[in-house]
């Protein structure tokens, strides 16, 4: 035996010792001869578990009529009592039993009068108004209780009343009055153009002073000091 064959045999013995053939996790196939990853997976398909069983359990069918008959037999062993006929005939308008001997007495009873259709109350608008006459000329009926418009789809009344909760006269702008009050009773035009008398100048100075004091308190005031001074003053 030559030295080369001895070396080759020793290498094979060393390879067999390092990579035994009976180990399933170790492959001795050369890298170039190995199959691509995923090849052959289709031969062993995965068996998925269905969410519902293939064969549904057959439930015992129950007859609803039979169950109802059993329930009635338990609740009414002697048979279900038949409803007694009305002793008095019922009115076809109000549906109440007519117990009175005279039908006119029943017609005047509150129960019968409550279901009768009511005639609409005439409107309280003055019929001599020129605006109402103009609207009636164009087809508006004040007693029809329909809205404005060709098919009655609009408002029911031309003017919607609104409660007045201030003491301002008619035609006075409330927003402008509030602005003048903030300027001491003067308008912005008078302030910008300098058309102020001595009284308005004094009031405007007081307003500016109060505004300045309010800003000073908001930015530089101390809540604890204000609370302490309030307790002393109280």
Residue among 136, 137, 157 at smallest CA distance from 145? 157
Q: Which tens digits make up the pLDDT trace of 214-230?
A: 888 888 877 787 777 77
Q: How far apart are CA 23 and CA 126, in angstroms?
A: 113
Nearest-CA neighbor of 143 among 128, 155, 156? 156
**Is the separation of the CB atoms in 152 and 146 below 8 Å?**
yes
Residues 6+ apart with CB under 8 A from 148: 140, 154, 155, 156, 158
pLDDT at 22: 58
Mean pLDDT, rounded, for 152-160: 74
Predicted local confidence at residue 218, as pLDDT: 81
Per-residue pLDDT tens over the stretch 27-81: 677 766 767 766 666 666 677 777 776 676 666 665 556 888 888 888 888 777 7
Whole-structure pTM value: 0.25
Query: What's residue 38's pLDDT?
Result: 65
**For 171-204, how does the pLDDT look when each residue is reduced to its tens digit (9 = 90+)?**
777 777 676 666 665 555 565 656 666 777 777 7
Asked if the model's pLDDT at residue 156 lies above 70, the reply is yes
């Amino acid at each position: 035996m030559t030295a080369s064959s001895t070396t080759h045999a020793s290498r094979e013995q060393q390879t067999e010792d390092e990579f035994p053939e009976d180990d399933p996790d170790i492959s001795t196939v050369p890298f170039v001869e190995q199959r691509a990853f995923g090849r052959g997976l289709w031969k062993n398909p995965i068996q998925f578990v269905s969410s519902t069983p293939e064969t549904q359990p057959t439930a015992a069918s129950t007859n609803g009529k039979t169950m109802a008959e059993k329930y009635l037999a338990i609740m009414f062993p002697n048979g279900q009592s038949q409803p007694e006929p009305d002793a008095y005939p019922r009115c076809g308008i109000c549906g109440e039993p007519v117990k009175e001997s005279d039908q006119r007495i029943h017609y005047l009873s509150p129960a019968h009068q409550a279901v009768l259709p009511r005639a609409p109350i005439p409107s309280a608008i003055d019929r001599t108004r020129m605006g109402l006459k103009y609207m009636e000329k164009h087809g508006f009926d004040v007693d029809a209780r329909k809205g404005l418009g060709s098919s009655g789809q609009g408002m029911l009344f031309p003017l919607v009343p609104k409660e007045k909760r201030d003491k301002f006269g008619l035609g006075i702008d409330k927003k402008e009055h509030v602005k003048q009050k903030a300027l001491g009773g003067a308008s912005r035009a008078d302030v910008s153009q300098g058309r102020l008398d001595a009284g308005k100048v004094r009031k405007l100075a007081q307003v500016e002073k109060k505004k300045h004091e309010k800003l000073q308190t908001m930015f530089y005031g101390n809540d604890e000091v204000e609370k302490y001074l309030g307790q002393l003053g109280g």
